[in-house]
Structure 1
Amino acid sequence: MSVDIVAITEIKAIALRAPIETPVRTSFGIMTDRPAVFIEVRDREGHRGLGEVWCNFPSVGAEHRARLALATVGPLLQRLSPLPVSTIFARLMQALHILALQSGEWGPLRQVAAGFDMACHDLGARRAGLPLHAFLREAYGLEGPCARQVRAYASGIGPEQPAAIAAAEQARGHRAFKLKVGFGEAVDRRALDAIRMAIGDGATLMIDANQGWACAEAIRLGRAFAAYDLAWLEEPLAADRPEAEWQAVAEATPIPLAAGENMNATAEFAAAIDSRALRFIQPDAAKWGGLSGCLDVARRARAAGLTYCPHYLGGGVGLLASAHLLAAAGGDGLLEIDTNPNPWRDRLIAGLMPLADGCVLLGDAPGLGLRPDVEALAQLNEG
Structure 2
Amino acid sequence: DDDRRRLTIAREIIGWDAKLMIDANQVWDVPEAIEWVRALAEFKPHWIEEPTSPDDVLGHAAVRRAVAPIGVATGEHGMNRVLFKQMLQAEAIDFLQLDAARLASVNEIIAVYLLAAKFGVPVCPHAGGVGLCELVQHLSIFDYVAVSASLEDRVTEYVDHLHEHFTDPCTVEGGNYVLPEAPGYSARMHQASVDRFAFPDGAYWAARTGAGTHD
TM-score, with normalisation over the residues of structure 1?
A: 0.46
Q: CA deviation at 1:322?
A: 0.7
Q: Distance in 1 between matches of 2:77 and 2:61?
A: 18
Contact 1:348 1:380 in 2 (8 A): no
Matches within 5 A, 1:79-98: none
* Per-residue deviation, residues 47-92 of structure 1 (Å, max 9, x unmatched): xxxxxxxxxxxxxxxxxxxxxxxxxxxxxxxxxxxxxxxxxxxxxx
Describe the shift of the 1:207–1:251 C-alpha distance in structure 2 as closer, same or farther (beyond 3 A).
same
Aligned to 2:88: 273
Report 1:233-382 matches (<5 A). 233-241=48-56, 243=58, 245-254=59-68, 255-316=70-131, 318-330=132-144, 331-332=150-151, 333-338=154-159, 342=161, 345-348=162-165, 352-369=169-186, 372-373=189-190, 375-378=191-194
Shift of 1:242: 5.2
Deviation at 1:364, TM superposition (A): 2.2
- One-letter amino acid of the counterpart of residue 63, structure 2: V
CA distance in 1, matches of 2:140, 2:21: 19
The structure whose RCO (Cα within 8 Å, separation 6+) is larger is 1
1:379: how far off? 6.4
**How much has 1:197 moved relative to structure 2?**
1.2
Q: How far is the alpha carbon of 1:280 from its aligned partner?
A: 0.6
Answer yes or no: is 1:223 the counterpart of 2:47.
Answer: no
**1:195 deviation in Å?**
1.4
Q: CA deviation at 1:313?
A: 2.8
Aligned pair count reads: 190
Q: Deviations over 1:88-142 (max 9, x none)?
A: xxxxxxxxxxxxxxxxxxxxxxxxxxxxxxxxxxxxxxxxxxxxxxxxxxxxxxx
Task: Give the whole-Å Cα distance in 2 for the aligned partners of 1:349 and 1:199.
Answer: 32
AA of the residue aligned to 2:182:
A
Which consecutive residues of structure 2, in runs of 5 or more, have no partner in the other structure? 145-149, 198-215
Whether the 8 Å contact between 1:347 and 1:380 is mirrored in structure 2 is no
Deviation, structure 1 residue 380: 7.8
Work out whether residues 352 and 362 of structure 1, in 8 Å CA contact, stay in contact via their aligned partners in 2: no
CA distance in 2, matches of 1:252, 1:225: 13
Tell whether the 8 Å contact from 1:312 to 1:337 is kept in structure 2 after alignment: yes
Between the aligned partners of 1:263 and 1:233, the Cα distance in structure 2 is 16
Identify the structure with the greater strand proportion. Answer: 1
Contiguous gaps of at least 5 residues in structure 1: 1-185
- Write the distance in 1 (CA, Å) between the matches of 2:188 and 2:121: 35
Q: How does 1:118-267 map to 2 (within 5 A)?
A: 186-241=1-56, 243=58, 245-254=59-68, 255-267=70-82
Measured in 2, the distance between the counterparts of 1:362 and 1:380 equals 29
Q: C-alpha deviations, 1:169-202, integer Å up to 9, x for none?
A: xxxxxxxxxxxxxxxxx12111111112112222
**Which one-letter code corresponds to 2:122 in the other structure?**
T
SS for the counterpart of 1:294 is: helix
Deviations 1:191-237 (A, max 9, x none): 11111211222222111101111111111111122222222111111
Contact 1:310-1:326 within 8 A present in 2 as well: yes
* Aligned equivalents of 1:310, 1:228: Cα separation in 2: 24
Deviations 1:228-271 (A, max 9, x none): 2222111111123351x322211110211011122222211101
Distance 1:351 1:294, change over 3 A: closer
Secondary structure of 1:308's aligned partner: coil
TM-aligned CA distance change 1:221 to 1:372, over 3 Å: closer
